[in-house]
Structure 1
């Protein structure tokens, strides 16, 4: 019997960085000094932050940027935006996505779906996704727009609304907007990817354990036991020497270990979702000035090796049952860990913040079987990764330039 070819794993990542943001449509904003900024407000809005305890809505000015339409050479079934934005002095942003299918009359666009009301601090608003958005052809699952009922999208678009208090002269500063469109099968390929380009490479990524904060700071996703994502994000930032300055987390008691992880958990917390695992919020937090961060999907560990060979560790999303990943010591419906290298035989070296359930950093490093890891990574969230890199560290060339996924 001849086995058929493995189902295609389609992923397209489109990014507008710096002067690229001069493309698209602009209402009251323009590119200045390599970033999109609010210049003249296009209107006003009222927003009542449901997590702030205000008695009446606050008034804000807004401007908006609409990306060019992004065509897909495949029928996309999932959309996920990324953004790197500075929001000083009461500023914030709204991130929206829409998609279109083809009809004899042309493209039929969906309504706009709101993925985030976001700021880089919680001084003005509490960052949140927007639950309850669903229709016949699509739904929002926290940080992702998913197609329903056999819908496949031929194009997509993202819109950013830049917001500041009425009368303010502060300016949100947009350095990157990204949009991932994908159509990947539910399972992992039957055959493990060959790889080889990063075998024997291990990057010196600091080891952080989420267990060090277990049962502490429970207002943010029940404390450290659920902080795999901000702990992973902190490891990626630390490797690039891009952790926040100490004054940003001076509010954390000085006796608390790795206080910057607590800071990360607070900043990436999605108040509607009630957790610190919103993929886009973690990338937005990591995209600090001088750093670019985004979420995409990779098609294989061979693609992941391109990043490690270029000196870039990755955050990766996995899920598996008990004994589904030898050496992990736990089961999970969704977990983030850091890929830091590959053994000489191609197995995956990780900094796993779960640290075998033990609150010690020397339990963080672990080697996972290549085939098992690829299965629980591609077969769960479809190969989702966090990519974090300083502006002066180039990304590797995509394996498929006709359908670049980074």
Structure 2
């Protein structure tokens, strides 16, 4: 008798759009893109360069399963120089709402459009350059994820630098309270450092003397969302990395096996998860939402991470049991497998069946 194992995976489709030629002020609007399944969430992500005085607005609208077309929802107003760099609350209606960086639908979605508008002072908006534009559509199952099996390729680990967010306790509280909430900026700074990218000395002078790692403070300022008053906006973290030449996107991955494919291709992956202290052995804390960098896998398949929530840089590298990590990362009551991938354009991604 054969045993059939049914794996309940998130349904994910990542759409990459041709780079909008912004050239002049005004909107660029995509054609309507079918999703291929009834989706419940949409998350855009982008990279762009915005001269001083200019910014981009990214919007989405969707077609529901009953054929209705929703209104346009603003998914972010973004400038690499700040002002504006903000999400917009209070957009909810009978079709859905925007939760910081995610459009959460109240009825199934079957297609969507994206619109990008360049804004700015006279002569500035025309200098906006969009490097990449993606939209992730997904439907996350409510049942707990089924653990994936370890690969048979041996241990692998990438040399990603270690930055603890708590080394920055009390720093620049105007950007979300200093180090306590800087898991996202610390993770992006780690990945930028791995790729040999990031701000130069002159860009760091404002941080102040005696800072143990000024690039983390810089990333906090560069990702801070003035609307939700935090640094955890996923697309804003991708866009910040894009100002240093990286390509990036937000998606949902569906297993540690998919994470391992990236790591074996030489690409660390940033993940979002929530858990109680007993659910993730080796973490030592509970969180309603934390960002980590997956850097490797042990020979037995356990997950090696750089966890910026560690109390100091020396304790950032940690190893978590594979099944426990997958559970807290993939479950629908948490992030549902959210990840963002940052890589130089010349570094190819591993093969995919549609979610990256």
Please give the range of the TM-score, normalised by the shorter of the 2 chains.
Answer: over 0.9
- The residue aligned with 1:115 is 75
Q: Tell me the SS of whatever aligns to 1:267.
A: helix
Q: Tell me the SS of whatever aligns to 2:43.
A: strand
Q: For residues 266-294 of structure 1, what are the alpha-carbon distances to aligned partners after superposition, in whole Å with 9 as ceiling and x for unaligned? A: 11011111110011110111112531011
- What are the ranges of 5 or more consecutive residues in structure 1 without an aligned counterpart? 23-35, 40-61
Q: Quick one: distance in 2 between partners of 1:169 and 1:118?
A: 13
Q: Quick one: distance in 1 between partners of 2:153 and 2:34?
A: 33
Q: For residues 357-380 of structure 1, what are the alpha-carbon distances to aligned partners after superposition, in whole Å with 9 as ceiling and x for unaligned? A: x2x211100000000000000011
Q: Quick one: distance in 2 between partners of 1:337 and 1:15?
A: 25
> Judging changes above 3 Å, is the alpha-carbon distance between structure 1 residues 261 and 197 closer, same or farther for their aligned structure 2 residues?
farther
2:27 pairs with 1:64: yes
- The residue aligned with 1:245 is 200
Residue 396 of structure 1, CA deviation: 0.8
Determine if contact 1:198/1:308 at 8 Å carries over to the other structure.
no
The worse-fitting range, judged by mean Cα deviation, of 134-143 and 76-85 is: 134-143
Q: Quick one: distance in 1 between partners of 2:123 and 2:355?
A: 41
Please point out which of 63, 75, 93 is paired with 2:56: 93
- The residue aligned with 1:308 is 263
Q: Tell me the SS of whatever aligns to 1:305.
A: helix
Q: Quick one: distance in 2 between partners of 1:65 and 1:387?
A: 25
Residue 214 of structure 1, CA deviation: 1.1
Residue 197 of structure 1, CA deviation: 6.0
- The residue aligned with 1:273 is 228
Residue 5 of structure 1, CA deviation: 3.2
Q: For residues 282-314 of structure 1, what are the alpha-carbon distances to aligned partners after superposition, in whole Å with 9 as ceiling and x for unaligned? A: 011111253101111001111111100100000
Q: Quick one: distance in 2 between partners of 1:153 and 1:286?
A: 30
Determine if contact 1:11/1:183 at 8 Å carries over to the other structure.
yes
- The residue aligned with 2:109 is 153
Aligned pairs, number: 352
Determine if contact 1:198/1:306 at 8 Å carries over to the other structure.
no
Q: Quick one: distance in 2 between partners of 1:96 and 1:197?
A: 43
Residue 212 of structure 1, CA deviation: 0.6
Determine if contact 1:315/1:387 at 8 Å carries over to the other structure.
yes
Q: Quick one: distance in 2 between partners of 1:307 and 1:332?
A: 26
Please point out which of 318, 336, 351 is paired with 1:397: 351
Supply the RMSD in Å over aligned alpha carbons.
Answer: 1.6
Determine if contact 2:28/2:117 at 8 Å carries over to the other structure.
yes
Q: Tell me the SS of whatever aligns to 2:34.
A: strand
> Judging changes above 3 Å, is the alpha-carbon distance between structure 1 residues 200 and 221 closer, same or farther for their aligned structure 2 residues?
same
Q: Tell me the SS of whatever aligns to 1:120.
A: coil
- The residue aligned with 1:13 is 14
Q: How does 1:312-351 map to 2 (within 5 A)?
A: 312-351=267-306
- What are the ranges of 5 or more consecutive residues in structure 2 without an aligned counterpart? none
Q: Give the TM-score normalised by the residue count of structure 1.
A: 0.84
Q: For residues 95-152 of structure 1, what are the alpha-carbon distances to aligned partners after superposition, in whole Å with 9 as ceiling and x for unaligned? A: 111110243xxx3211011011110012xx231000011111211110000012xx11
Residue 4 of structure 1, CA deviation: 8.2
Q: Quick one: distance in 1 between partners of 2:161 and 2:80?
A: 24
- The residue aligned with 1:354 is 309
Considering Cα pairs closer than 8 Å and 6+ residues apart, tell me whether 1 or 2 has the greater RCO.
Answer: 2
> Judging changes above 3 Å, is the alpha-carbon distance between structure 1 residues 96 and 169 closer, same or farther for their aligned structure 2 residues?
closer
> Judging changes above 3 Å, is the alpha-carbon distance between structure 1 residues 186 and 234 closer, same or farther for their aligned structure 2 residues?
farther
Residue 164 of structure 1, CA deviation: 1.7
Q: Give the TM-score normalised by the residue count of structure 2.
A: 0.95
> Judging changes above 3 Å, is the alpha-carbon distance between structure 1 residues 377 and 198 closer, same or farther for their aligned structure 2 residues?
farther
Q: Tell me the SS of whatever aligns to 1:108.
A: coil
Say which one has the larger Rg: 1
Residue 246 of structure 1, CA deviation: 2.0
> Judging changes above 3 Å, is the alpha-carbon distance between structure 1 residues 206 and 198 closer, same or farther for their aligned structure 2 residues?
farther
Residue 188 of structure 1, CA deviation: 3.1
Determine if contact 1:298/1:384 at 8 Å carries over to the other structure.
yes
Please point out which of 37, 40, 50 is paired with 1:74: 37
